[in-house]
Amino acid sequence: MPIRKAVIPAAGLGTRLLPATKAVPKEMMPIVNKPAIQVIVEECVSVGIELIVLINGRYKGALEDHFDVSYEVQDVLALQGKAELLDRITHLSQMVDIVSVRQNRPLGLGHAVLCARPVIGDQEPFAVLLPDDLVDAEQPATGQLAKVYDETGMGALALVEVPPGHEPMYGMVAGDPMGGRRHRLRTMVEKPPAGQAPSNLGIVGRYVLPGSVFGHIAATAPGKGGEIQLTDALVALMEREGVVGHLLEGRRYDTGEVAGLIEANLAYAMKDPVLAERLRAFMRTLV
Ligand code: G1P
């Protein structure tokens, strides 16, 4: 079954990037010349997603505005004959529908995903993309997981190898190897203390889940930090239907923190030959 819908939880406050995020949502921080949210939406479009449910919060209207058709800007560009730029700012809104749902209480990631239930329903699989996590990969991360879902019939989530000491920042898992990069998960624990994780494999923000997960989230009690954790709902899903962890191909950046945002910018800029040449020379003067 093709994955047609995606949820992007974007109601978080972005405290790790303060003061940049006092008045500007963290998802609007640029990756070269695109806001991070656009890179995530482009990932959705590239794997055939037709409907995105953006879970939004207070003061974050810029995320919705960004995907509006902006007639003011378009008219100016059209007058100036800047067709390429015009296409660059309009094509996304023609490729995907974006519905915005408000998460009106900060009850955690599980709750944020649950806010999409009335739009997505319990009958079809859907993707979840956490916009802090950028994955630079030949095959988009969501596409990698959609393939796992398709071939195994089980919910799939993305894994990376977590360096020692970083376990308290991730949902940590352990599982049985299924061949290739796949593990059938046996244990999941949200942000364990350092040294107490079941393995070195941690979850990063890409999931393809069956619609039945909504029922599990709805039945999940508050967990770590008093929040309704997606990881806890996935434990219930794992026990009843199975969940596969897929070690991501590609490179992942945490753009929700300063160093990760800068690294992502450098890495993405270096893909552009003109920027790359300039940056290479500039970096030599610094290091
Ligand atoms: C969330 C999840 C966590 C996962 C992480 C990946 O945590 O709860 O399981 O490992 O995303 O980025 P957050 O980083 O939103 O606190």
CA–centroid distance, 119 to ligand 1, in Å, is: 23
pLDDT tens by residue, 11-32? 988 899 999 999 999 999 999 9
Q: Which of 111, 113, 130, 252 to mutate to test the pocket of ligand 1 (most atoms within 8 A of CB)?
A: 130
Q: Is the CB of 172 under 6 A from ligand 1?
A: no
Q: What is the pLDDT along the chain (287 residues), one digit of tens a residue?
A: 789 999 999 998 889 999 999 999 999 999 999 999 999 999 999 999 999 999 998 888 888 888 877 777 778 878 888 777 777 777 777 788 999 999 988 899 999 999 999 999 999 999 999 999 999 999 999 999 999 999 999 999 999 999 999 999 999 999 999 999 999 999 999 999 999 999 999 999 999 999 999 999 999 999 999 999 999 999 999 999 999 999 999 999 999 999 999 999 999 999 999 999 999 999 999 98
Q: Which of 169, 199, 238 to mutate to test the pocket of ligand 1 (most atoms within 8 A of CB)?
A: 169
Claim: this prediction has a pTM higher than 0.85: yes
Domain ranges of the chain: 5-284
Fold of 5-284: Spore Coat Polysaccharide Biosynthesis Protein SpsA; Chain A (3.90.550)
pLDDT tens by residue, 208-222? 999 999 999 999 999
Nearest to 256 by CA among 264, 268, 267: 264
* Whole-number pLDDT of residue 74: 77
Task: Name, in order, each residue with C-beta under 8 angstroms of 31's C-beta and a sequence gap of 6 or more.
Answer: 39, 134, 255, 264, 265, 268
CA distance 52 to 172: 27
Q: Which residue, chain included where needed, has tokens 């940056």?
A: 279
CA–centroid distance, 169 to ligand 1, in Å, is: 7
Nearest to 43 by CA among 159, 154, 133: 133
